[in-house]
Amino acid sequence: MENKTKNKYPNLIIETERLLIRPFTVEDIEPSYAMNLDAEVSKYTADGGVVSKAEIERRIKENVFGDYEKYGYGRLAVELKSEGKFIGFTGLKYLKDLDEVDLGYRFMKEYWGKGIATESARAIVKFGFEDLMLKRLVAMVLPENIGSINVLEKLNFQYEKDIIENNQPAKLYSINK
């Protein structure tokens, strides 16, 4: 399942009706940290709470930038076109331990309930299947995150099984091309 193509998409911009989806930059560290300071945002992550700025910086520099180089894809920053600023992220991540490609997204709370997660995730699923030629995607969600479950169901992801992710119960959803 792993896509070992080197970064074929260094200047990737995925545009939707309202969004620009692009690779992270170091300028996204500060707003990413600010987003994760919100306890409502953090409670639906497997992080178990607020993450330090140093940890956010490490994750972006090592994990996100590293994924771009290693796999040719990764999590991407999302901007609302009308505002021209970082509002969250979406994208794919290769999970070596599961040998699966994971769809993920996280947005600042002020942008919840506006269809942004659905719009961005739909574009990423299309990118994964059409550009990266992936055959299957998975998504993991905490059982209490009803909003995220609704997004996955709108995109035709199917519940597959209960799993433990980062020592927490989670639900695994999947979609095949």
What pLDDT shows up at residue 9?
54
The position carrying tokens 């953090």 is: 42
Q: What average pLDDT is seen over the chain?
A: 88
Q: Render 81-146 in DSSP notation, one character per residue.
A: TTTTEEEEEEEEEEETTTTEEEEEEEE-GGGTTTTHHHHHHHHHHHIIIIIS--SEEEEEE-TT-H
- Note whether 135 and 176 are within 8 A (CB): yes
Reading the block at residue 83, the tokens are 């505002």
Domains of the chain: 14-135 (3.40.630.30)
Q: List pLDDT tens digits, range 8-37.
A: 555 789 999 999 999 998 899 889 888 888
Q: Which residues of the chain have pLDDT under 70?
A: 1-10, 46-50
